[in-house]
Amino acid sequence: MRLGRVASPNGVAFVRIEGDGPDAVAHEIADHPFGDPAYTGKRWPLAELRVLAPILASKVVCIGKNYLAHAREMGGEPPEEPVIFLKPSTSIIGPGAPIVLPRDAETVHHEGELAVVIGRPCRNVPRDEAFSVVLGYTIGNDVSARDQQRQDGQWTRAKGHDSFCPIGPWIETELNPEDLEIRTEVNGQLRQHSRTSLLIHSIPKLIAWCSRAMTLLPGDIILTGTPEGVGPIVDGDEVSVTIEGIGTLANPVQAEEGASHG
């Protein structure tokens, strides 16, 4: 099942999406997409709607250095256990919304990633039961201000700016995430190209690890880490992240008013 969130004639609504391309149709969900959703009976051509971030998480839990080649391109070896950090819910934007480069950040990078969406409240999830708490999978971009990351010695400000967590375009609930192609392009030029089979720490391990530290709530997101090839984005760019079996998340880049990125 493909689940999304749209600006519909009735306001913002969760939807089930059927079909592809210009023939895709959005069926309005009555309440929320968790469990066994009920439907209102209303439906619209998806092309006539504005597609939003498919979920608004209470928190985005991110995994650092979870591909060997990326850890090395950042100047080190991968940690023995997952390194986690948080992005605030206010950093989330949907497809087509602009990534805004802050006035006080000089070097901002893209980081395309597979995103896991949690489907029910959970804590201390055993690794062998991890997939049972997953609603589905979407695409994320862990946008990062590298100069602030270096300056601060930790990552909250550098990765927490408004618009620094594009998510979407929808959630795929029936997908095997273990070996998917992932590509990031900037203005059509390939920057990142890898497969989720190269994750150092598996998705079940990440769910078990994160839920040992904190309660995960329905809609919470785990960003599983980015492959090698991260690089700068500047005013006027367009960043697209494509993951096999899900689709493409594309966002324009623009400088904050009064900034001079480019």
Which domains occur in the chain, in start order? Answer: 2-51 (2.30.30.370), 60-255 (3.90.850.10)
pLDDT of amino acid 260: 56
Residues 6+ apart with CB under 8 A from 225: 62, 63, 64, 65, 66, 67, 70, 113, 199, 200, 201
| Segments of the chain with pLDDT less than 50 | none
123: which 2 tokens?
Answer: 């804590």
The answer to whether the CB of 118 falls within 8 A of the CB of 221 is: yes
Residue type, position 50, single letter: R
What are the φ/ψ torsions at residue 196 (nearest 5 degrees)? -70, -15
Count of CB atoms within 10 A of residue 154's CB?
10
Quick: pLDDT tens for 207-219.
999 999 999 999 9
Buried b (16+ CB within 10 A) or exposed e, 105-130: bebbbbbbbbbbbbbeebeebeeeeb
Helix locations, the chain, DSSP H: 68-73, 146-152, 156-160, 203-213
The answer to whether the CB of 214 falls within 8 A of the CB of 200 is: no
